[in-house]
């Protein structure tokens, strides 16, 4: 599916909702091509929303093709990459195999959160919607602790625990519905999720500072009980730091 550059941000947001496990994006002259590996039902959803799309059959083994696009990234002193890549000797390494969970470290929102976390005072941290555990593991690497991680998806909790063990870092991960179940108090909260989920989650968090992302640059989350401190943007995406308002 090809969309003009003017609709690229909107199209990316829709694709994230439709295919949270990931999709491909290629820039062409004046436009962006978006593609996802899916079945007939997924193709029908794309047609319903965008009104036009083309589908082609792919050979067996497409489920593993995402590995070709899982490239290492560097954010300050951190290196985030797959276990089959060799990290540089001067980096704090986060080796991530996402499995069935979302999160390889390469998405702009992940990089933005990592950059903002690196600017904060260290302390305890809660990662809400931990996915593959990238943010939680990286937080341990740069000195946060204790680090806690929750996700409503059991596959995400499993991936976070597996990746934490592979990186030899200590963190506590468990399954929880963050919008309904009690959450622990921490110095810092981080949530790389959709804007609406950020707004619903914030009143339930007991933390001094909050780092949030998962939404586009033109979106401004309304975070009850917190004041906005600063923002970073990358490739049309945004991340923000908030501090709890003092009574």
pLDDT tens readout for residues 198-236:
999 999 999 999 999 999 999 999 999 999 999 999 989
Please check whether residue 145 lies inside any domain of the structure.
yes
Residue 76, token pair as written in the block: 């300050």
Does this model's pTM top 0.85? My answer is no
Whole-angstrom distance, CA of residue 90 vs CA of residue 52: 47
The domain spanning residue 214 has which CATH number? Answer: 3.40.50.150
> Residues 143, 52: one domain?
no
Residue 7 lies in a domain: yes
Shared domain for 153 and 46, answered yes or no, is no
**Could you tell me if 144 and 220 lie in one domain?**
yes
**Domain endpoint, select from 45, 64, 83:** 64
User: CA-CA distances (angstroms) from residue 145 to 27, 51, 141?
Assistant: 40, 48, 9
pLDDT of residue 99: 54
Range of the structural domain that residue 111 is part of: 107-244
* 173 in the same domain as 116: yes
Q: Is 204 exposed, middle or buried (0-12, 13-18, 19+ CB in 10 A)?
A: middle
Burial letters 98-118, b for 16+ CB under 10 A, else e: beebbbbbbbbbbbbbbbbbe
Is 54 in the same domain as 118? no
Whether 124 maps to a domain, the answer reads yes
- pLDDT < 70: residue spans in the chain: 1, 16-24, 37-70, 98-105, 247
Q: Is residue 44 part of a domain?
A: yes
DSSP-based three-state secondary structure for 208: strand
Total domain count, the chain: 2
Q: Which pLDDT score is estimated for 82?
A: 84
Are residues 138 and 191 both part of a single domain?
yes
**Is 89 within a domain?**
no
Cβ atoms 176, 152 nearer than 8 A:
yes
Q: Smallest Cα–Cα separation from 81: which of 89, 90, 91, 71?
A: 71
Q: Which of 64, 89, 116 is the last residue of a domain?
A: 64
Whether residues 133 and 44 fall in one domain: no
Asked whether residue 73 is assigned to any structural domain, the reply reads no
148 pairs with which residues across the strands?
126, 172
């Amino acid at each position: 599916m090809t969309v003009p550059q003017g609709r690229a941000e909107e199209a990316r947001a829709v694709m994230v909702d439709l295919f949270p496990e990931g999709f491909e994006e290629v820039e062409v002259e004046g436009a962006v091509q978006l593609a996802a590996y899916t079945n007939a039902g997924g193709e029908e959803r794309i047609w319903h929303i965008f009104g036009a799309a083309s589908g082609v059959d792919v050979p067996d083994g497409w489920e593993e093709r995402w590995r070709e696009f899982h490239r290492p990234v560097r954010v300050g002193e951190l290196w985030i990459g797959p276990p089959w890549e060799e990290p540089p000797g001067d980096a704090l390494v986060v080796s991530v195999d996402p499995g069935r969970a979302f999160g390889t470290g390469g998405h702009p929102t992940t990089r933005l959160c990592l950059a903002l976390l690196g600017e904060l005072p260290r302390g305890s941290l809660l990662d809400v919607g931990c996915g593959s555990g990238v943010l939680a593991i990286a937080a341990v690497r740069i000195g946060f602790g204790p680090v806690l991680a929750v996700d409503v998806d059991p596959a995400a909790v499993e991936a976070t625990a597996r990746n934490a063990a592979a990186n030899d870092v200590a963190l506590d991960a468990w399954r929880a519905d963050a919008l309904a179940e009690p959450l622990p108090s921490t110095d810092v909260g981080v949530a790389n999720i959709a804007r609406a989920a950020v707004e619903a989650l914030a009143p339930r968090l007991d933390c001094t500072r909050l780092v949030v992302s998962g939404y586009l640059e033109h979106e401004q989350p309304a975070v009850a009980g917190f004041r906005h401190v600063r923002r970073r943007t990358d490739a049309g995406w945004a991340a923000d730091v908030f501090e709890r308002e003092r009574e």
